[in-house]
Copies of this chain bind each other. A is one copy, B any other.
Amino acid sequence: MYICPMYTSELIKGTLKTIILNLLKNRDKMYGYEITQTVKEMTNGKIKITEGALYPTLHSLEKKGDIGFEKEYIGKRVRKYYSLTEQGQNTAQEKVNEFADFIETMKYLLDIDIKPSNA
């Protein structure tokens, strides 16, 4: 049985906010646990967001005004559904643009030739 290797935590460091904001941009509203599961599934387990990293980041994004939330009860259990504020929409776009640019720079710096994406 093949176990998909995770990336070293160094690499993922710094991309968490970008990932969260972009997911919320595409999906309108999500709750924390859903974010961790979605990222795990979309990356085949290569990126696993730990809860110890996720929740403080969500609280930080909320404090800065990029996201807001509303509680929803599933039986007696609570979910906090987060969504982008207007400011957050801009932040999300900026973050993604910056990362896309960063990728190009790093590709050049590391002399990586990227296989054309399955278009």
Residues of A within 8 A of B (CB): 7-15, 17-19, 22, 26, 39, 42-43, 46-47, 96, 98-114, 116-117, 119
Contacts and interface: CB of A to CB of B under 8 A. Distances in A.
Given A46-B105, A103-B114, A114-B117, 4 more contacts: A7-B102, A10-B13, A11-B98, A103-B107
Contacts of A114: 100, 103-104, 114, 117
Nearest to A115: B104
A15 B106 contact: yes
30 contacts: A7-B98, A7-B101, A7-B105, A8-B14, A9-B14, A10-B13, A10-B14, A10-B15, A11-B99, A11-B102, A13-B14, A14-B14, A19-B109, A19-B110, A26-B111, A39-B109, A42-B108, A43-B105, A46-B105, A47-B109, A99-B112, A100-B110, A100-B112, A103-B114, A104-B117, A107-B117, A108-B117, A113-B117, A114-B114, A116-B116
